[in-house]
Amino acid sequence: MNFTVGAFNKNAFVIASECFPHCNVKKIYEYFLGLFSHKNLKMTGVAFDNTEMYFDNRVAISHISFEEEKNHGSNPNDYVGIVNRINRIERLQIACFIYPKGDTYYITLRGKPAIDVGQIAKKFGGGGHAGAAGFLSKKSINEIKTDLLHEFKKIIKEKSNSISPYKF
């Protein structure tokens, strides 16, 4: 049997298991090759349908509402990795994904090197680091977007001379 997936083949997994005998090679495979549940893929579609682009496609804000979560019978486990997929949109410098977590919204941010999303999250009571951060909010999705767009506008304007929409 000739097992290959992209740059991986059977030998890559044999070598990985020999070099790291206590690691879960299957989990590594699933992480890098993106095996997701059907519900995760369905909710990724909902999130992408809800994605809005701002500031010359440098910022993407996406969301899943409480109503959409209820209608699809989904939960936060079904949203794993969505913000990272949004962050792969060409030219993007800030990715934002808003989703229900209990009776509040969780806002997760991803940024390219010139943008410190950790500082943005701190302004809203959250935390993280330059590349990935988040916070919770009881506000509506529209209120959250308005607040974030105000911050993103300042950052994009401040960084406009130091960031290129084509280079990361």
Residue type, 88: R
Cα 115 from Cα 155, distance rounded (Å): 8
Cα 116 from Cα 156, distance rounded (Å): 11
Instruction: State both tokens at 136.
Output: 């919770």
The answer to whether 63 and 96 have CB atoms below 8 angstroms apart is no
Q: For residue 77, give every residue at least 6 positions away whose Cβ sits within 8 Å of its Cβ, in sequence order, or none.
A: none
Q: What is the pTM of this model?
A: 0.78
Residue 2: pLDDT over 90: no
Mean pLDDT of 142-162: 89
4 pLDDT band, cuts 50/70/90, is very low
Alpha-carbon Rg for the chain, nearest whole angstrom, is: 18
Give pLDDT, residue 95.
97
The answer to whether 121 and 135 have CB atoms below 8 angstroms apart is yes
Q: Which letter does DSSP use for residue 79 in this model?
A: G
pLDDT (tens digit, 9 = 90+) per residue, 84-141?
Answer: 999 999 999 999 999 999 999 999 999 988 899 999 999 999 999 999 999 999 999 9
Cα 77 from Cα 68, distance rounded (Å): 15
pLDDT (tens digit, 9 = 90+) per residue, 5-49?
Answer: 445 566 766 776 777 777 776 666 666 556 678 899 999 999 999
Cα 118 from Cα 129, distance rounded (Å): 4
Burial (Cβ within 10 Å: 0-12, 13-18, ≥19) of residue 47: buried
Q: Which domains, and CATH codes, for the chain? A: 9-33 (no CATH), 38-159 (3.10.310.30)
Cα 124 from Cα 110, distance rounded (Å): 15
Mean pLDDT of 68-96: 94
